[in-house]
Amino acid sequence: MSIATPALTNFTAGEISPRLAGRIDLSRYFNGCRTLENFHVHPHGGATRRSGLRFVTEALGQDRPGLLVPFESNADEAYVLEFGEDGTGQGRMRVFSGNGPVLIDGSPLVMDVPYRADQLERLRYAQSGEVLVLAHPDHPVRTLTRKAHDQWELEEMTFTGRPASWTEGNHPSVVAFFEQRLVLAATPAQPGTLWFSRTGDMTDFRLRTREAPLDGWRDREIVDASGDGLRDGRPGDTFALLDGDGFEKLDGLKGQHPDGTTRYYRYKGAANLTASGADRTVTFKANPSGFQIEPVRDAEGELNAAFWDCFEPGDRTEAPAGEAPLDDDAIEVTLSGRQANAIEFLVARGKLWVGTAGGEWTLGGSLGDAVTPASIKASQEGTCGASATRPEAVGFATLYIQRARRKIREMAYRYESDAYVSRDLTILSEHITRPGLTQMAFVQEPDSILYCVRADGVLLALTYEPDQEVAAWSRLPTDGTVECVTAVHNPAEGRDQLWAVVRRSVGGQPRRHVEYLEAEFNGVMEDAFFVDSGVTYAGAPVQTLTGLGHLAGRTVDILADGAVQTARTVHQDGTVHLDLPASKAHVGLPYVSLLQPMRLEAGSSRGTAQTKRKRITKVAVRFHDTLGGRVGPSPQRLEPVYFRSPAVPMGRASASFSGDKTVNFPGGWTPDGLLTVVQDQPLPMTVLLVVPTAVVNE
């Protein structure tokens, strides 16, 4: 026999696939776990129990899933927009700010929207300043504008030179901003086409324009004949038509606005006047005949828009047929390839990254310059294919869900290959995404974590720090199913906040809740929040807590003044009775955090320890800010870790502990050599190091 004390120093491989259970030659085997539930892996290597989900309110729609959209107005103001559907089938939107709903006259700000619940999966958005542009194939493009904290306006977008193909049921379904252009793409009839607006004007999609005045527009000036001192083309004003010259549709005149500033007017009527043999004077008249023409403005100064267009100097107008577009004009481009190229997402980086069902593309200027109608190049970079799920831009990479929805790929430029490469981030944990992924949200403060919603409602977390070669998956199950998530910065707390809509069972009926993930444990035991759908009471000591109607009939965990109290069932009136009065209490649904490393491999005098019978006699664990927990060979057989010391007075909660604890291991001889660390109380836990003492039977 031989005695081994292998040190499990970090968990930066996360939960890895059962297919790797024999790969002890793989370095990441020793940093991985067979099971990692309700833990976040830190880039530094340790694993921290995730905080609880705090209840905010019931979701807008209880019958169908909704959608959460982030909106960051500036460094100090951020919002979460909840889209849903009420009981009558009317689309609704609610606004959250900070940790609760935005109120108007004391009630939550809720407004009607045209998007039904079954359409929300295809709703795409892109933000510019205070404007959120919304695209959906069944709806015209709309803008949602924040006018004030409690004033939002949704309206259909009015375009200049709108493409003729954008018709009922054939609207763009993807949207982004790139190089000061609004980019819309992928109508049902043209799934591989992109439309770029004119530079600096996201409503102008004309493919060939010129700045007013066009050639010849200055040559003819309106003459004031009404005596008001304005050359604005009212009835009685005139202009000269020189011998041999003509005037017809699309010709222009120089004149004035009623305020005296310069304007150019383009004719769009049917008159066709020609001066033959002598100069002629053309008079503006309401019912023209001979050398007369419809007035530009009526007697009150209103523009006669049926016959004239009005331009300020520098305004854009359609270019004459056959002329080349300007560099900042709108652009229409269609991707072509051997496979289906329906565009699923757009991400603006140094180039425009385009994800299609058939592969990944980049689009930019031909020679690395800005995109123009004469200089635009689309390059296919890969053939992995993308799903329609909104991607996340992370550092220099873009993370997206592959077409089959079972892989997260990292699209990034690789200097060594001088190419854009899509790396599989689930290669070591292929099992964890098996039911398929439906949504993602990225949090970068305090740690870089990509959250993914699985098709079965389980929330996944990927700690992603490529510079440190950390890509660690864990599962975050809760009592219910997560339907959608989003992440938004919370300026008041100085962190990014994950929001979710969670469907839970209350009183035997499904109920949808809006909740957010609480901040990490701050070291103060009274603030420890490790319950789901939880609420907090803070105030004068009480023994009966109210406001738990959303958990009526459910058994809840309670942490009161930093001490764990007996689990209780919430009464139908939303109250729960405590063992002892408390001035600060956190109440909510329990959840279990479980960490189980891979089978031990510390070698033996005759080679590997794999397949040999072994017995773990004790386990030393290095904790940080931890209280409570158990250790054993399996979740069904565990020994408690004792933290309370005689120095702590009775009736007072223990403080969190940082240091080493050793537990006599209750397991026997097995060929696996498994150990499990569990936290099932509403208390914090961080595991930094695990050192088992194992006897290996040679």
The string of pLDDT tens digits covering residues 483-502 is 999 999 998 888 999 999 99
Q: What is the pLDDT of residue 161?
A: 85
Q: Which 3-state string (H, E, C) describes 269-323?
A: CCCCEECCCCCEEEEECCCCCCCEECCCECCCCCECCCCEEEECCCCEEECCCCC
Structure tokens at 403: 């077409």
pLDDT band at 647 (very low <50, low <70, confident <90, very high): low
Average pLDDT of the residues of the chain: 91
What would the pLDDT profile of 592-606 be if each residue is shown by its tens digit? 999 999 988 876 667
What would the pLDDT profile of 220-255 be if each residue is shown by its tens digit? 999 998 778 899 999 999 999 999 999 999 999 999
Q: What is the pLDDT of residue 51?
A: 97
Q: What is the SS3 assignment for 72?
A: strand
**What is the percent of the chain with per-residue pLDDT over 90, rounded to a whole number?**
71
Q: What is the pLDDT of residue 646?
A: 66
Closest of 92, 123, 126 to residue 109, by C-alpha: 92
pLDDT at residue 180 greater than cutoff 90: yes
Q: Which 3-state string (H, E, C) describes 437-457?
A: EEEEEEECCCCCEEEEEECCC
pLDDT band at 130 (very low <50, low <70, confident <90, very high): very high
Q: Give the distance, in angstroms, between the CA of residue 628 and the centroid of all CA atoms in the same chain.
A: 36
What would the pLDDT profile of 265-280 be if each residue is shown by its tens digit? 999 999 999 999 899 9
Report the pLDDT averaged over residues 527-539.
Answer: 95
What dotted CATH number matches 2-51+593-696? 2.60.120
What would the pLDDT profile of 419-438 be if each residue is shown by its tens digit? 788 888 999 999 999 999 99
What would the pLDDT profile of 50-66 be if each residue is shown by its tens digit? 999 999 999 998 889 99
Structure tokens at 20: 């790797």
Do residues 206 and 316 make contact, with C-beta atoms less than 8 angstroms apart?
yes
Please state the domain extents for the chain. 2-51+593-696, 209-323, 531-589
Do residues 682 and 589 make contact, with C-beta atoms less than 8 angstroms apart?
no
Q: What is the pLDDT of residue 604?
A: 65
pLDDT band at 468 (very low <50, low <70, confident <90, very high): confident
Q: pTM of the full predicted structure?
A: 0.89
Task: Return contacts of 151-158, CB within 8 angstroms, 24+ apart.
Answer: 152/93, 152/95, 152/109, 152/111, 154/93, 154/111, 154/113, 157/133, 157/203, 158/203
Q: What is the pLDDT of residue 35?
A: 96
Q: What is the pLDDT of residue 159?
A: 92
pLDDT at residue 133 greater than cutoff 90: yes
pLDDT at residue 288 greater than cutoff 90: yes
Q: What is the pLDDT of residue 649?
A: 66
H runs (alpha helix) in 208-276: none
Cα–Cα distance for residue pair 429/426, rounded to 1 Å:
5
Report the pLDDT averaged over residues 617-635.
Answer: 93
Q: What is the pLDDT of residue 543?
A: 93
Closest of 395, 389, 405 to residue 441, by C-alpha: 389
pLDDT band at 24 (very low <50, low <70, confident <90, very high): confident
Q: State the pairing for strand pair 292-293/280-284.
A: parallel
Amino acid at 589: L
pLDDT at residue 323 greater than cutoff 90: no
Q: What is the pLDDT of residue 124?
A: 96
pLDDT band at 49 (very low <50, low <70, confident <90, very high): very high
What angle (nearest 5°) sits at the alpha carbon of residue 329, between those of residues 325 and 332? 90
Q: What is the pLDDT of residue 627?
A: 94
